[in-house]
Structure 1
């Protein structure tokens, strides 16, 4: 192995050493195209036929931004290497706030972003109530808004659940439902929980604090649907299908924030 390649390999954390899902090359083994191909290209126009303008999106757990950029391109109908969203196909103006707990991943996302005027990145522990409220409220106030039009929670729920337990997962989903008119969720199935715990054990590390005590388990897509729709907070609109790695894309709409029918 050449010296630069060997040094780069040594600098990478061992597989599984990402207890918050902050894998440094996540997009290599779960490519963004595997999700965006399931979404209708005219989705924004169907959800928001008459505005508002601009549309505001929130991407929680964005990693190094590859999926955020792919979602932005797909939802605005941008093709190939287009980097000018001035006249998007869907006739919508979209701004995304993307956050992740890992500062190094956020730095990489910012440096590689083709849409710096429309996609903002921020380091955030989304389970810190004060930090998230400050970030989200500050961002929304720039547009004189109190809620995001659409939230994206792509393969994040498991990491919240493993690190913060059942109560943490419920609180996290309740918060997103209070901040987003629509919410697109890609829950990890229960087999991914077992695999994540197994990876940690192989590294000789302590198990996740909550893994063996989680009462919310089994069919996680259904469990998360139950949490989000409890007390009528949100309503499941549809499932866009499953990725090749067996994760469903579920769309929910808020019953407490203004919205349009799909």
Structure 2
């Protein structure tokens, strides 16, 4: 996701999906509300993944969070209200959301109702320093759960095959669990068609991409072969026919990382 000329300020085109070539739609959650994903994600997910110890701080990362509505709704979905009432810190669950569009992040910051949610502007294809700083601040080597929902296509179209694979590798390197929703190839064609209808230049990499077809399967193969992760669950497909796939860092890799830290 390269820095862009604020797609959320695109004048008369702001309501046209083609006006957001980086996926930074100004009214994204009006046509894809949070419930479309949350209906598939169990409210017990953090407990199911072993993050129910009240003494443990659990960190969640939301990649490409847009204006933050899904981040807020997901936090409320996973961190039960009854638990929040007993513990004002919500069992010490913290969520960091980021997006490359500063206008969307400003809106997320202004409307955020929860103490444990933080929103920052960030282009992950250029810099991950802020993510590492956040981890260091909370004394954790990784995010316990990373969400990458409907982001891969925009990185792929704007940064090519290498950009997509680099994104997956970076997220795997800082995550214990990764919840991935990759747009199918038909969405690529639709995005390119919308740009052409607006009279804009096509995506730089669209015609030369070699990773095509079943993008979710390509992502799974890369994560399992090259990133030390394994697919542990599929939560089915959204109303937009996109799979929600949950990956986990393989235990042998986690053990090796911990062993290296102990030695240092």
Q: Above 0.5 in TM-score?
A: yes
Aligned partner of 1:176 among 162, 171, 175: 171
2:192 is matched with which residue? Answer: 197
2:119 is matched with which residue? Answer: 121
Aligned counterparts of 2:36 and 2:81: Cα–Cα separation in 1: 17
Aligned counterparts of 1:200 and 1:50: Cα–Cα separation in 2: 45
Ranges of 4+ aligned residues in structure 1 off by more than 2 Å: 8-15, 49-52, 84-88
- Residue 188, structure 1, aligned to residue 183, structure 2: yes
Q: Which has the higher mean CA deviation after the structures are superposed, 60-69 or 47-56? A: 47-56
2:4 is matched with which residue? Answer: none
Q: How many residue pairs end up in the alignment?
A: 241
Aligned partner of 1:150 among 122, 145, 157: 145
Matched residue of 1:148: which SS? coil
Aligned counterparts of 2:227 and 2:173: Cα–Cα separation in 1: 12
Q: Which has the higher mean CA deviation after the structures are superposed, 52-61 or 103-112? A: 52-61
Give the TM-score of the pair, scaled to structure 1: 0.87
1:78 is matched with which residue? Answer: 81
Unmatched segments (≥5 aa) in structure 2: 1-9, 256-264
1:62 is matched with which residue? Answer: 65
- Residue 224, structure 1, aligned to residue 210, structure 2: no
- Confirm or deny: 8 A CA contact 1:45 1:92 kept in the other structure: no
Unmatched segments (≥5 aa) in structure 1: 1-7
Aligned counterparts of 2:94 and 2:204: Cα–Cα separation in 1: 36
Superposed CA deviations along residues 62-95 of structure 1, whole A, max 9, x for unmatched, are 000011111101111239xxxx93437xx73210
Q: 1:232 to 1:145 in 2, by over 3 A?
A: closer
Superposed CA deviations along residues 3-57 of structure 1, whole A, max 9, x for unmatched, are xxxxx98473643111110000000111100101101111101101564711001
Aligned counterparts of 1:103 and 1:232: Cα–Cα separation in 2: 30
Aligned counterparts of 2:130 and 2:40: Cα–Cα separation in 1: 30
- Confirm or deny: 8 A CA contact 2:84 2:91 kept in the other structure: no
